[in-house]
Homo-oligomer: A and B are copies of this chain.
């Protein structure tokens, strides 16, 4: 990992004249003594307890200001048995942060934490994470108030231990049919049906599907929705038109190349990234065009979807919102406001842009959907 290297290091230890790090911190006791009240009073003032007189409160606040007092987080944690820390678990993938799905999720979670006075801690769902049982340890050591897991896979069966212990825990964007773990997800099957239904309405008969990975419940659900809607519209399900795309652009490209020989007239991709790859594959194949020859609908409505050219028709359920919401729920669980399993499904919406061909593309650019 870290290679040895020659490094120019310059130190100047005489830089620090005063402010030795050893300076003892100002404590609640100092404040109490300073105003000649008890520590209990100071504590009550800080928690804005109304039974403290205005006068005393002011005196205390002044002292706090003057002495530069800041309550110790550790002491408070110990007394309250809570850390105000939320742990975010994300898959350990090569460029996990690069994936817009995760970036958006993290932003939503971070914002929710800030809004509620929580700190956000980062955990990778690495091999060590599972082996060392960090998902349990964090709770057992009372180092976190709750865990939110974005992007779990069906292989994460160890999560059962969390279920058994009933710790504040929530899944974001994924879930397990066989575990009573709380979760917030998008309406995956519903979204798929919306997409496929739309394509069918446009007269498409040979609608293909690129899925991410059946190791992920949401991909399974999208696939199920795809099949259901085909049946609903009286269209035949053709396994040759369904290929795995691994969630990224490259995978979508490869999947589409495999599908093309079977003459699809439309594709519903399991996410926008794969949709983008699929479009590239189509346009790269002997003059085929999107949407003229093949319609494409994605899912997720990433920021890139609106910027693509042609702009991507897709399913929106609000990734940022989903993550924000899941975090809020988690904090409610952590503070005991809600108990038991919690399941929320974010509603989906079809965002019609250009790649489905529902709108005629006139000239170079068409007025886009608000995105």
Q: Which residues of A contact B (CB under 8 A)?
A: 1-3, 5-16, 19-21, 25, 68, 70-75, 77-78, 81, 83, 85, 88, 95-98, 100, 102-103, 106-107, 110-111, 114, 119-122, 124, 128, 137, 140-143, 164-167, 180, 303, 318, 321, 324-325, 328, 335-336, 338-347
Contact = CB atoms under 8 A, between A and B. Distances in A.
A6 B325 CA distance: 12
Residue among A19, A71, A98, A346 with the most chain B CB within 10 A? A98
Contacts of A5: 318, 321, 346-347
A343 to B, nearest CB: 5
Given A164-B19, A165-B21, A1 B324 contact: yes
Given A2-B324, A110-B122, A142 B336 contact: no
A140 B25 contact: yes
A106 B97 contact: yes
Contacts of A15: 180, 340-341
Residue among A15, A143, A336, A340 with the most chain B CB within 10 A? A143
A316 to B, nearest CB: 12
A14 B120 CA distance: 30
B111 A141 contact: no
Nearest to A164: B19
A83 to B, nearest CB: 7
Contacts of A97: 97-98, 102-103, 106-107
Contact of A12 (B128, B324, B340): B340
Top-4 shortest CB links A-B: A74-B77, A70-B140, A97-B97, A97-B103
A124 B119 CA distance: 11
9 contacts: A2-B81, A2-B325, A21-B166, A73-B141, A74-B74, A95-B100, A98-B100, A120-B121, A122-B122
B345 A7 contact: yes
A103 to B, nearest CB: 4
A141 B180 CA distance: 37
A97 B340 CA distance: 33
The number of times this chain is found in the oligomer is: 2
Q: DSSP class of A's interface residues: helix, strand, loop or mixed?
A: mixed
A233 B97 CA distance: 41
Nearest to A9: B344
Contact of A137 (B2, B70, B328): B70
Given A77-B77, A97-B102, A1 B140 contact: no
A73 B143 contact: yes
A119 B121 contact: yes
Contact of A342 (B11, B96, B325, B342): B11
A340 B13 CA distance: 5
A165 B70 CA distance: 15
Contacts of A100: 95, 98
Residue among A10, A88, A325 with the most chain B CB within 10 A? A10
A119 B142 contact: no
Contacts of A13: 339-340
A346 B165 CA distance: 47
Nearest to A16: B166
